[in-house]
Amino acid sequence: MAKKAVKQSTTLPVIGSGIPGLDEVLGGGFLQGRASLVRGGPGTGKTMLGRHFVAEGVANDEPALFITLGEKAEQIRTDSKALGLDLARVAFLDLSPDSAFFTKVESYDIFTPAEVEREPVTQSIIDEVKRLKPKRVFIDAMTQFRYLAPDVFQYRKQVLSLLRYLAEQGATVLFSSESSAEAPDEDLQFLADGVIHLAREAADHSLRVSKLRGAAFLPGSHAMRIGQGGVQIFPQLRPALHRRTFSPEPMPTGVPELDELLHGGVERGTVTIISGPSGVGKSTLGSLFIKETAGRGEYSVLYTFEEPRDTLLHRCQSINIDVTNMIKRRLLAIESVEPLQYTQQEFALAVREQVERHDARLVMIDSVAGFGLSVRGRNGDVLSKLHALCKYLTNMGVTVILINEVQDITGDFRVTDTHISYLADNIIFLRYLEIEGTMQKAIGVLKKRLSDFERTLRQFDITHYGIKVGEPLSGLRGILQGTPEWVKGKGDDG
């Protein structure tokens, strides 16, 4: 994924983290000349963040120093290379104990072990910093210094003096901590200029910033992925931070009767819910909006959570909607989302990429239920994340189509089963009808926020030539119950 320009939220100079998405969370990057703490349990990715930090430094021709007090330097290089991070140009100061420490017997008759061991460690750091003059330093893990101090006061004083020494030498510092109930790291959080918390729950990693002196940062928990290439952060979507100027002009559908129903079409930058039972033609109707968007030379993205891509292509081709040609002309992208492929924040970032990099003007999600079942996250978050995504898209002038399935084929009319109708600027509904022993379909508009609309229902049909919408069904009553009957004196000559 290409790097994105990040708007800096501080007038203080910053340096890039080297991690996609993290600079956006940090408001531009790490504050230059300051010290930040990254903390979390085992396996949460603390060392991985440090690897990116120093690798970004050497990529920008900045001398970088990796001080390790636990893991061997050679092992760090080997593991990093396997993930696609080359640390060959990064200088290492390996202060981890070697095998000889176990085999030799040390006697501390007068001084404590901490006092004896601290001096050579401190001198090694001073010598290496003077030699290298690093612009970036990563210390993994700072809590190891706790065992080189006789008490908590001396430990705190030692850490503070080390951080100040490195800052005076012109270095920006990132250091990790190994927090536990027996050895908490609250003191390090007080000493640091910035604090980053890492967490892991089952297969999902997350990142949260609680402190960043001198800069604004994105609050909340942000999704994090560790894999080939290292770490990637998926910032929580904040719709208010994104906005484009656009005109909410109506966009015709290309079907005159449907445009009459909608009084000209749906407006740009609005959310339209197309609701109805299974098989009634919701996705096909959504494809019509995509077709007309392509006809204007604009790019659309369709996210399908249920229907296979090949099936969708075949269905559209069979009703004279040439999506294959749209794809070839780069006016349409169809993204099949596999179950649990994305976290909610990862999906939001994927949509942002389409809007901000490829100028998508229409986004269709098929369907809302598929989104809720397929995108990882706590169940209670699904509606709030969909709300944020829709708000972001409308702020950017993107037209949104949400396909919503209701369970009941006939019976009492219901727009949604998931309480999402408040998201919609427009609600179009499709219904099955039984008329004189035959199964037919009707289309109607329930809501249109920016203009008036026709309050009758019309017959809806899908043919080989496309979608056909008939005249208003003014001679029927009971349509919303799915079992209409002709009003006396209507529908026939008898």
pLDDT in tens, 314-372: 999 999 899 999 999 999 999 999 877 888 889 999 999 999 999 999 999 998 888 88
3-state secondary structure of 80: helix
**Phi, psi at 52, each rounded to 5°:** -60, -40
Question: Are both 145 and 274 inside the same structural domain?
Answer: no
3-class DSSP string for 272-331:
EEEEECCCCCHHHHHHHHHHHHHHCCCEEEEEECCCCHHHHHHHHHHCCCCHHHHHHCCC
- Write down the pLDDT at residue 112: 45
Q: Which run of H or of E encompasses 388?
A: helix 381-395
- Write down the pLDDT at residue 2: 45
**Residue 329 falls within a domain, yes or no?**
yes
The 10s digit of each residue's pLDDT in 121-179 is 888 999 999 999 999 999 998 888 877 777 788 888 888 999 999 999 999 999 999 87
- Write down the pLDDT at residue 482: 56
Tokens found for residue 215 = 């800069």
Residue where a domain stops, chosen among 188, 206, 236: 236
Question: Are both 264 and 202 inside the same structural domain?
Answer: no
Residue where a domain stops, chosen among 236, 269, 296: 236
Cα separation, 279 vs 321, whole angstroms: 18
Residue where a domain stops, chosen among 175, 207, 236: 236
Question: Are both 221 and 261 inside the same structural domain?
Answer: no
pTM of the model: 0.82
Burial of 381 (0-12, 13-18, 19+ CB in 10 A): middle
**Residue 18 falls within a domain, yes or no?**
yes
- Write down the pLDDT at residue 406: 86
Question: Are both 254 and 164 inside the same structural domain?
Answer: no
**Residue 450 falls within a domain, yes or no?**
yes
Q: Is the pLDDT of residue 490 over 60?
A: no
> What average pLDDT does the structure give for the chain?
86
- CATH number of the domain that residue 48 is part of: 3.40.50.300
Tokens found for residue 183 = 């050895």
Question: Are both 190 and 284 inside the same structural domain?
Answer: no
Cα separation, 229 vs 86, whole angstroms: 10
Least reliable range by pLDDT among 20-24, 235-239, 477-481: 477-481
Question: Are both 205 and 91 inside the same structural domain?
Answer: yes
Q: Is the pLDDT of residue 118 over 70?
A: no
**Residue 214 falls within a domain, yes or no?**
yes
The 10s digit of each residue's pLDDT in 397-439 is 999 999 998 876 655 556 665 678 889 999 999 988 877 778 8
Question: Are both 385 and 467 inside the same structural domain?
Answer: yes
Cα separation, 351 vs 363, whole angstroms: 8
Question: Are both 255 and 378 inside the same structural domain?
Answer: yes
**Residue 338 falls within a domain, yes or no?**
yes
Least reliable range by pLDDT among 47-51, 61-65, 158-162: 158-162
**Phi, psi at 374, each rounded to 5°:** -95, -30
The 10s digit of each residue's pLDDT in 303-324 is 999 888 999 999 999 998 999 9
Question: Are both 56 and 198 inside the same structural domain?
Answer: yes
Question: Are both 185 and 259 inside the same structural domain?
Answer: no
**Residue 5 falls within a domain, yes or no?**
no
Question: Are both 322 and 229 inside the same structural domain?
Answer: no
**Residue 350 falls within a domain, yes or no?**
yes
Range among 221-230, 285-294, 416-425 rated most confident = 285-294
Domain that holds residue 458: 250-486
**Residue 241 falls within a domain, yes or no?**
no
Question: Are both 156 and 56 inside the same structural domain?
Answer: yes
Q: Are 139 and 178 in contact (CB under 8 A)?
A: no
- Write down the pLDDT at residue 357: 95
